[in-house]
Every structure is written in C-alpha cells, then in structure tokens.
Amino acid sequence: MLLANMKRVEAHIESGGVFKNAPVSYSIIRNHGKRDPAWFIRLRDQSIANAYARRSQDTRAALARRTHCRKGHEFTGDNSVMISKFGVERRVCAICLRAALERKEQLTYSEDRFTQLIKFVKQGGTISQASQRTSERPLIMKFNAIKAAFAANPKIADQLRKRSAANAAKHRADALSNKRRGGYVHDGKAAPPISDVIAAQILAGARDGASMWQLVRGKYRLVGQGQFDRYAKAHPDWSREVRALFDRNRSINRGAQQRNKEFCLRGHSLADARVDFHEGRFKRTCRSCLREGHLLGKPMTDQTAQQVRIRLSEGSTLSELMGSPQNGKRDRSKYLVAANSLYLYRRSNPSFEAAIAPFIERNRERAKDRQRTHLRTAVARRDVNDYDIISSMVPTSIERHMRDDIISTVFLDILEGRISKEQVKDRVRDYVRQQNKLFRGFTKYAAPSLDAPAYFDSKIPLIETLSSEDSIWEHI
C-alpha cells in the first residue's frame, strides 16, 4: 500500500503537481524520504520547479488579461511594446516607456542640471539631498550623474564637497539643538512654557474629540509632553478638565477605525456585516466576502471526490474530512479536503451530492447517538460520584443494611431539595441517630426484637417475615 501511494505521488509530481496537493499527506512523503533520500530530493526539486512554473504561468496569464496600464493608458496595437525581463516577455505601455526615458535623460549629466546643483549647495543643501526626491523638492541629479559631473569639473567638485560637508555639519548641529525629548531639548534646558492661547487650543481639541496622543505626543502635536505637564501642574483646574476629556475620548476612539468602516477591503458594504465576539473583542465580518469565499476554493479533483465517498461510506463525518475541531481539538490526520472546495464540488456535481447524501445522513445520526450516549454516561457518572461522596461520609462501623438505608435517605433528601450536598457532612450524625431510633436494639451490640418493624418505614413486625422453615435463632 505504501509503495502504491509513493508511485501515485511520483506520477503526480512528474505530471506538473507539487507536494502541497499530493494524493497523500506531506508527513507520509517525508517519512518515506528518510528511507530513500535520493527519491525525496529528486521529487522535491521537481515540485519546486513545478511551483515556479505554475506561478509564472499565472503571472503571465494575469498580465495578458490586463487591458490598461497602471496609469490608465489602454493597451492597443500602437501602444504596446513587448520587452524581455528575467527571461520572461511582458507587455509594456509605450507612452509610459517614452516618459520614463525622457525623465532619465533629463536627470543625467547636463549643464543646466549641474548649475542647479551648484545653486542648491550654495543655498545650504547637501549633495546627498540633491540626489534624493522628497515631498518638498524634486530630484535634481542622480548620484551617477553627479559623479560624472565632478569628474569633468574637479575644481568645482572640491568646492562643492567642502560646502556640502559644512552644510551637513550645520544641519546636524541644528537638529541636535532643536530635538526635544518630552518637552525638553537635548542638552537638558527646559523648553519654553506654552501660552494660554495654545492651552485654549488643546482644550478645544479635547472637546472636539481629539486624543492626548494627537495633541501632545503625536507627530503633529501642538506641544511636548514636558510642556504639557508643567502647564497642567500650574493650572490644576485646566488639567482636571482636559484629562477627563482625554479619558472620555480614549474610551470612545478605541476601535473607532474598525467600527466606522463602511466598506471592506474588496469594496462591499458593511451595513449588514456579521458581528462576532472573537478573542475578547467584537469583530465585524463582511457577509459578501463570506459568500464569495465558498466559491473561491481550489477545485477538487475527481480522485479526491472518490476518496471522500469512500471515507464517508466507512463512517467518517464531513467535519473530520474538512479538519473541523472535534470536542475542542483539531485532528489534522483525518483532513482530506477544504470546506469551500467540497462545497463548490457538491454544488456543481448533483450526482456526487446524491451519492454521498445517504452516507452524510447516516453518519450524522450516528454522531447524534454518540452525543446522547456521552450525555447519559456523564449524567450516570455524576450520580455515581454523588452516591460515592455520600457513602464516604457515613460511618463504616454501622451494619451494612442500616448503612445502605442511611445513604438512600440522604440521597433522597438531596434530590427532593430538603438539604444540599454541602450540608450532608454536618447532618450525617442526625441521620444515623434517626436510624438507630427506628431500629432500637437492632444492632450488632444487641439482639433484635421480634416485635421490631421489619423495615424502617414498615409496620410489619419482624416475626411475621419468618417462614416455618426459618430458624428464629438465625435472626437473633
């Protein structure tokens, strides 16, 4: 059986498959590979090559389906250029390609660009800043173009290097002096106190719903933490009001980003989102994505469908085949197919659905019977445990029949609600005393009376329970 499975795996890999969707689990393949390392290495390398080939095919197919480039230009016969990159041909927008070449030519070495570089350095910039693009300034020259310009103009290059180094040192000194840590500058000097106008702005922002992080600690804060603390210490009434507003805003804004979302990542409306309590918090899930998830599963093969039918006929349940948790534990050893793949195959193959429906219903009834059996067993064990607990509280020195009567009486009182389980230990002496009163003299320390009742709840004397064949002395 093992060799047959390994031959199926080998045929699957040679036909273009990978280990992930092999007919047997990877753990079985790996255990067999320990006994035959050469076989495993050969199939592993082939599986990796198949995965890369499949991924490149999917990428090429996705690129071939595109009708417009990233900037919205339509792919037509005149606007499409085929280029080869890393051995893969791809279609490129001709308009975007021409624009990129023009930008590249503009950023290469030219007299105009070099003049802009000289002016930029004289105004306080550095060579490194000139070769970088930011939101505040465009890229002046690429570093390779600057290197070529310096090689052509060595004297000007030396002057620019010295001026750039001086500018960089000045930038570092300014940054060091202006850097604040919690409202204080780096050298330990206190930052200037905030004015009443800034304090009023902080209070207004807190009333509008802003958090302390946005106004005091964030990137676009109004003041530093140290400035805020010193002003709050000097103005306790203002501090009390602002901190109360910050606490209120923090409780309101917690989870507001997810709570206020109107659309999911795929653009579906979250008006009818499903709300679940997961890991201590509420979570909204898009119902449209859940419905589409059942239709996006990996297609199930006919071979897997045959295995599903065989496993169901042998008594397995759908939950076991799909790897769902059983009794709070997930058993992956019985996993065969994903839930959405099986759902899609059942919808598209009515004959398969009709074939497995009787097995599913039978296995469902068997599972219900097992649950009912477990429930009855649990109840019985609970009752037996209660009986054993009560029995351990009754003294063992009492006669067996009297002891059994006491245990039964206590158990009956518990069921009828006269006492609780916690009261048995304190009242067991009362039950023993009551039993001794009913059977006065009927103990191992004294002979029973023939006029005593045969049972504690009976008025029939003991003598009437004796037959002519019994010996009176056996009961004395």
Give 294 or 337, the one with higher predicted confidence.
337
> Each residue of 299-313: pLDDT tens digit?
788 888 888 888 888
Per cent of the chain over pLDDT 90 is 1
pLDDT score of 382: 63
The structural domain count of the chain equals 5
Residue 76 falls within a domain, yes or no?
no
389-398: b (≥16 Cβ within 10 Å) or e: ebeeebeeeb
How many CA atoms are closer than 13 Å to the CA of 455, on its beta-carbon side?
A: 5
Mark whether 305 and 367 lie in a shared domain.
yes
Mark whether 311 and 370 lie in a shared domain.
yes
pLDDT score of 376: 78
Lowest mean pLDDT among 121-130, 157-166, 372-381: 372-381
Domain finish residue from 65, 83, 100: 65
Average pLDDT of the chain to the nearest whole number: 76
CA angle, residues 239, 241, 242, in degrees to nearest 5? 65
Residue 383 falls within a domain, yes or no?
no
pLDDT score of 187: 40
Domain finish residue from 197, 228, 254: 254
C-alpha Rg value of the chain to the nearest Å: 43
> Each residue of 86-136: pLDDT tens digit?
556 677 888 888 777 766 655 556 777 788 888 888 888 888 888 887 766
pLDDT score of 337: 82
Residue with tokens 């054993």: 388
Mean pLDDT calculated for residue range 376-386 = 66
- How buried is 312 (Cβ within 10 angstroms: 0-12 exposed, 13-18 middle, 19+ buried)? buried
Diameter over CA atoms, the chain: 141
Please say whether the beta carbons of 228 and 246 come within 8 A.
Answer: no
**Residue 327 confidence class, pLDDT cut points 50, 70, 90:** low
pLDDT score of 180: 44
Residue 387 falls within a domain, yes or no?
no
Residue 378 has pLDDT above 60, yes or no: yes
Which residues, other chains included, contact 29 with Cβ-Cβ below 8 Å and sequence gap of 6+? 6, 9, 19, 22, 40, 43
Mark whether 416 and 369 lie in a shared domain.
no
Residue with tokens 């002046």: 140
pLDDT score of 473: 45
Residue 230 falls within a domain, yes or no?
yes
Mark whether 156 and 188 lie in a shared domain.
no
pLDDT score of 133: 76
Residue 12 falls within a domain, yes or no?
yes
CA dist., res. 438 & res. 202, Å (int):
86
Domain finish residue from 143, 158, 178: 178
Mark whether 444 and 419 lie in a shared domain.
yes
Strands 80-85 and 180-181: unpaired
Residue 199 falls within a domain, yes or no?
yes
Please say whether the beta carbons of 186 and 167 come within 8 A.
Answer: no
Spell out where 233-295 has E strands: 274-278, 281-285
Lowest mean pLDDT among 230-239, 243-252, 323-332: 323-332
Residue 441 backbone class (left: φ over 0; alpha: ψ -120 to 50; beta: rest): left
State which residues form the domain around 157. 108-178
Residue 16 falls within a domain, yes or no?
yes
pLDDT score of 26: 79
**Residue 41 confidence class, pLDDT cut points 50, 70, 90:** confident
Give me the sign of the Cα torsion angle 268, 272, 273, 274: negative
pLDDT score of 225: 81
Tell me the two tokens of residue 4.
């047959």
Span between the terminal Cα atoms of the chain, in Å: 75
Residue with tokens 């093969």: 301
**pTM greater than the 0.85 cutoff:** no
